Chain A
Amino acid sequence: MTLVLALVALALVLPWGAAAAARRLAALLPPREACAALTGAALLLAGGTVAALIGLFHVPFLAALEQVPLPRAAAEWPATVPVAAAAGAALALQTVLVVRRWHEHRSVLARAWSATGDAVPDGDLLVVPGPDPQAFALPGWRGRSGRIVVTTGMIRALDPAEREVLFGHERAHLAGRHHLLSVTAYLAAAVHPALRSLRPALDLHLERWADETAASSVGNRRLAATAIARAALAAASTGQPGKGHGPLRSVGSGPVPQRVEALLRPAPVRPRARGAQAAAVGLATAVAVSAVLALGLAYGLHEYVEFTARALLSG
C-alpha cells in the first residue's frame, strides 16, 4: 500500500515538468493559441493535482466503506492515515486560497468600477485627467460593458494613429475577456505552486494577442510597435523610479521590449516546419499526459483500495 500511495503522490510532482513544457509550447505558438495552451494547461494540471489529492485523502474513508474499520486499516497500512491527513490539509488550504483569490478578483473589479463613480463614459472610452500616461482596459461588470480608461497624459503622448493602436489593443483585451484567462491562471496557481510560473508567461502572451489584434486593425505592424514603445517610454519618464508598479525586473528583456521586438518581426504563424510541429505536438502531449496520469493514478488507487480491502476481509 505504501508503494501505491507513493506512486500516486508522485503525480503531484508532474506539474513542475508539465508547466515548463507548457511554457515552451506557448513560445512555439502564435499568441492566441499560446494563451489557450497556457490556460488549458493550468486548468488540466490543477484538475490532476486535485484528483490525486482527493485520491490520497479518501483511502481511509473508502476502507471504512468496505467494512475495514479505521484502526485495522491503520494497522495494516500504516501510511494511509498520515498521507490522508496531509492530502486533506492540502485540499483545505487550496479551497481557502481559491475562494480568497476569487473574492480578491471580484473586489478589485468592484472597487475599480465604484471608483469610476458617476463619470459618464463616452462610447467605450473613459478619459481621466492627469499628466502621467496610463491606459488600461476595465472589464465589463454587472451588465456594464467594458471600458478603456486612459489619462489625458497618455492621449497627448501619442499621435492619432498611435492612439488607434492603443484603443485597438485595449478593445482586444475587452472583447477577448482576457482578464478571465488571467484569473484562471491565478486560481490554478493556488492549487499547485508549479503553476505559478504560467502566470507571467500567460500575461505576456495576452499582451501579445492584444498587440497583434491592434496591429491588424490599423494594418501596420511597425506603427503598432512604435505606439507601444512611445507609450512605455512616456510612462517611464514620468513615473517615480523605485515606486514602479508590478514586479520590478532588472534584466533588459522585460515584457514591453519583447512585445515591440515581436511586432517588428513578421506576423506570427502556427509552426510550419516539421520539427517545430513535432515539438509542439510532443509538448502538448506531455502536458496532457501528466494531467491524465494524475487522474488515472487517483482512479487506480480507488480500485486498488477496494480490491485490497476485500482481500483483507476474506483473508
Chain B
Amino acid sequence: MVEDGRDARRPHGELVADVLAVLWAAEGPLTPQQINGALGRDLARTTVTTILTRLHEKGTLVRTRSGRGFAYAAADDAAGLAAGRMRRELDREPQRDLVLKRFVSSLSGDDEEALRRLLLESEDGE
C-alpha cells in the first residue's frame, strides 16, 4: 500500500466524500488516475477504483469507456429531484439554523468589505 499514515487512518466515508467532491467539481468525466491526481494524495490505485466501482453500482456515478479503463462522472438525475425538494423545504424554514449548522452565514455589505480586506492581508503575509 502506498497510502500515507494520515490517509490510512481516515474513515472510508471521508475518502468517498473527497472522491465525489472531485468528480462534482470537474467539468467532464475523469479517469481514476486523474481523480487520484486531483486528490493530491498517494492513494493506492485499487482504493480509488474500488470506491468508483461501488459508487457506479449505486447509481451515483455514470461511466464511459476511456482507453483500457473507464472515466467517471457524477450523475445528477436522481439527486436533482431530492435536491429541489430539499431546497424548497429549507428555504422557507425560519428556524433551520437551529438544527442545520451552515458553513457560512450571510454577510452584510460591511462584512464583505472586511473579508476581502482580511483575504488580502492574509495573502500579503505569505
Q: Find out whether the CB atom of B85 lies under 8 angstroms from the CB atom of A167.
A: no
CA distance A161 to B22 in the complex (A): 11
Stretch at the interface among B42-50, B62-70, B71-79: B71-79
Binary A-proximity of B8-40 (CB < 8 A = 1, otherwise 0): 000011111110111011000000000000111
Total interface residues on B, CB under 8 Å, equals 62
Stretch at the interface among A66-74, A78-86, A117-125: A117-125
Is A272 among interface residues, defined by CB-CB distance under 8 A? Answer: no
A256 to B102, CA, bound (A): 11
- Judging by beta carbons under 8 Å apart, are B98 and A179 in contact? yes
Q: Which of A108-160 contact B (CB under 8 A)?
A: 108-109, 111-112, 114-120, 122-125, 127-130, 134-139, 148-152, 154-156, 160
Assess the A117–B12 pair: CB atoms within 8 A: no
Among A4-12, A44-52, A90-98, A228-236, the one that faces the other chain is: A228-236
Q: State how many angstroms separate the Cβ of B105 from the closest Cβ of chain A.
A: 5
CA distance A250 to B109 in the complex (A): 7
Instruction: Answer whether A261 and B20 are a contact pair too, CB < 8 Å, given A249-B108, A252-B108.
Output: no
**B90-111 contacts to A (CB < 8 Å):** 90-91, 93, 95-108, 110-111
Complex-state Cα separation, A166 to B21, whole angstroms: 11
Once the chains bind, are B110 and A251 in contact (CB under 8 Å)?
yes
Name the A residues within 8 Å of B108 (CB-CB): 248-252, 254
Instruction: Name B21's contact: one of A160, A210, A233, A235 (CB within 8 Å).
Output: A160
A112 in contact with B99 (CB, 8 Å): yes
Main secondary structure of the interface of A (DSSP, over half): helix
Q: When the two chains form their complex, are residues B12 and A108 in contact, meaning their CB atoms are under 8 A apart?
A: no
Q: How far is the CA of A119 from the CA of B89 in the complex (A)?
A: 15
Across the interface, which residues of B come within 8 angstroms of A111, CB to CB?
89, 93
User: B105 contacts which of A129, A233, A255, A264 (Cβ < 8 Å)?
Assistant: A255
Q: Which of A239-247, A283-291, A305-313 contacts B (4 or more CB under 8 A)?
A: A239-247
Q: Does A206 reach chain B (CB closer than 8 Å)? A: yes
Residues of A with C-beta under 8 A to B122: 222, 225-226, 229, 264
Most buried by B among A226, A232, A248, A261: A232
**Once bound together, how far apart are the Cα atoms of A148 and B16, in whole Å?**
12
Q: Which residue on chain B has the smallest CB distance to residue A210?
A: B101
Contact status B89-A167, CB under 8 Å: no
Query: B115, A233: Cβ atoms under 8 Å?
Result: yes
- The answer to the question of A163 belonging to the interface, with a C-beta cut-off of 8 Å to chain B, is yes
Distance in Å from the Cβ of B12 to the closest Cβ of chain A?
A: 7
Complex Cα–Cα for A125 and B79 (A) = 12
- The answer to whether the Cβ of B119 comes within 8 Å of any Cβ in the partner chain is yes
Contacts of A246 in B (CB 8 A): 97, 105-106
Confirm or deny: A205 has a beta carbon within 8 angstroms of a beta carbon on chain B: no
Which residues of the other chain, A, contact B14 by a CB distance below 8 angstroms?
A: 123-124, 167, 171
B82 close to A232 (CB less than 8 A): no
B39 nearest CB neighbor, chain A only: A160
When distances are taken between beta carbons in the complex, the residues of chain A under 8 Å from B88 are 115
- Nearest 5 interchain pairs by C-beta: A252-B110, A123-B16, A123-B13, A125-B17, A119-B82
30 A-B pairs with CB atoms under 8 Å apart are A104-B95, A105-B98, A119-B78, A120-B58, A120-B78, A123-B17, A124-B14, A125-B20, A128-B83, A128-B87, A129-B80, A130-B87, A134-B103, A149-B86, A152-B24, A160-B39, A160-B40, A173-B101, A179-B98, A225-B122, A229-B118, A231-B104, A232-B104, A232-B107, A233-B112, A236-B112, A244-B106, A251-B110, A260-B118, A264-B122
18 additional contacts, CB 8 Å, given A120-B60, A134-B102?
A: A108-B99, A118-B78, A119-B83, A123-B13, A124-B13, A125-B20, A128-B79, A129-B76, A148-B17, A155-B21, A155-B24, A161-B40, A167-B17, A182-B99, A210-B101, A222-B122, A229-B119, A251-B110
Binding site for B on A (CB under 8 A): 104-105, 108-109, 111-112, 114-120, 122-125, 127-130, 134-139, 148-152, 154-156, 160-161, 163-164, 166-167, 169-171, 173, 178-179, 182-183, 186, 203, 206-207, 210, 222, 225-226, 228-233, 235-236, 239, 244-246, 248-257, 260-261, 264
